[in-house]
Amino acid sequence: MRSIWNGAISFGLVSIPIKLVNATESHSVSFRQTHTVDGGRIRYRKVCELEEKEVPASEIGKGYEDADGSIIPITDEDLAALPLPTAKTIEIVAFVPAERIDPLQMDAAYYLSANGVPAAKPYTLLREALKRSQKVAVAKFALRGRERLGMLRVVDDVIAMHGLLWPDEIRSPQEAAPDTEVTVREAELDLADALMDTLGDVDLDSLHDDYRTAVEAMIAAKVEGGEVAPETAPAERAGGKVIDLMAALEKSVQAAKEARGEEGEEVAEVTSIKGRKRAAASPKSTGGAGAGAGAKKSTAKTAKKTAASAKKTTAGKSTAGKSTASKSTATKSTAAKSTAAKKTTKKAAAKKATPRKRASA
């Protein structure tokens, strides 16, 4: 690997000569701008605005544009005279836990290679010290005309350095947060957890750029003069407003299971809690929106049956009451008639007995 910077790591009073090499490389396919009429290359030429002619690289310098539009020339000598202690040194300023570094600060990555045999011992010492401390080193260094911040850590047997943005270069995330307050229900979180568990882990080495592969295949087909067979594009995912979040989560869990060959397993169900009071809802419920609808229907049917049963029972009691009252009334009427008949018979007997006594007298 070609080095892009030579210098030393300053570790207290220890100096470690190193070479800086890029740790990453881009595999993206690059294109050139062409004239669509005749296929000619379109190039950018550096032209002086005053003379309106192309200027060679040897005549191009630096300048700072002032607020009024005037250009203040800056020479390499001006920059070299500035006090820049990290011009050829990666100066370690602190050792901190890796968690202290915000991933938003991460920039380009480099490998630090020991430059020569004498550098092997102090290089190994720093590497092993970083391993044992389980910390990273925060350092300052200069590259391409400006001072930068870096983080040193161990990757296998190599010390790697990540360029870091300065803290004041990180924008506040507050403006990107949702403007409206949203309440996430426990059932929705349960389904999200189920989806995360279903997707599971992944071997990062197995991931690759499908788009770049397709572009390279298309270019190869054009070079050979053949027709490019259009590939079936994957179905576009529905975007825009989410109509039913619960249903979308359930479908996502099902799709993830099918993708992992788990079609036979049941998808976690979460009961819909629309229209229910929180006090009645358990902390974690199971079942989906469909199950919730079924539960509502079942509850409604049960309520109807209960109401009907109650009506029948009430009607039965009422009828029984009326029947009992009728029987009681009939009994009283019968008893009254019987009493009246007895009184009439007694009177008749008395009348007959009286003449007989008078006759005997």
At 88-108, the pLDDT tens digits run 899 999 999 999 999 999 989
The confidence band for 311, taking pLDDT boundaries of 50, 70 and 90, is: very low
pLDDT at 13: 85
Bridge partner residues of 73 (DSSP) = 63
Residue 73's pLDDT band, with cuts at 50, 70 and 90, is very high
Please give the Cα distance from 91 to 148 (Å, whole number): 11
pLDDT of residue 231: 62
Q: How far apart are CA 112 and CA 123, in angstroms?
A: 9
pLDDT at 221: 87
Question: Cα(98)–Cα(96) distance, rounded to whole angstroms?
Answer: 6
The answer, yes or no, to whether residue 271 has pLDDT greater than 70, is no
Q: How far apart are CA 312 and CA 110, in angstroms?
A: 85
Report the run of H or E that residue 192 belongs to, with start and end.
helix 186-199
Percent of the chain predicted with pLDDT > 90 = 35
Q: What is the pLDDT of residue 237?
A: 56
pLDDT at 332: 46
pLDDT over 70 at 315, yes or no: no
Query: Residue 275: pLDDT band by 50, 70, 90 thresholds?
Result: very low
- pLDDT tens, position by position, 208-248: 888 888 888 888 888 888 666 666 655 555 555 555 777 77
Tokens of 279: 């006090």
Mean pLDDT of 295-314: 46
For 40-64, what is the mean pLDDT?
93
Mean pLDDT over 70-99 rounds to 87
- Tokens, residue 318: 């009422």
pLDDT (0 to 100) of residue 287: 42
By the 8 A CB rule, do 9 and 140 touch? no
Question: For 241-279, b where at least 16 C-beta lie within 10 A, e where not — what string?
Answer: eeeeebeebbebbbebbeeeeeeeeebbbbbbbeeeeee
Cα of first residue to Cα of last residue in the chain, in angstroms, is 164
> What confidence score (pLDDT) does residue 143 get?
85
Decide which of 275 and 143 is more confident.
143
Number of other residues whose CB lies within 10 A of the CB of residue 225: 6
Quote the mean pLDDT of the chain.
75
pLDDT in tens, 133-168: 999 999 999 888 788 999 999 999 999 999 999 999
pLDDT of residue 33: 92
Average pLDDT over residues 101-119: 93
| Interior/surface letters 297-330, b for 16+ CB within 10 angstroms, e for the rest | eeeeeeeeeeeeeeeeeeeeeeeeeeeeeeeeee
Q: What is the mean pLDDT of residues 108-132?
A: 94
Radius of gyration (C-alpha) of the chain in whole angstroms: 47
- Report the range of poorest mean pLDDT among 35-39, 79-83, 163-167: 79-83
Structure-block tokens of residue 90 = 């990666």
The residue that leads in pLDDT, 183 or 327, is: 183
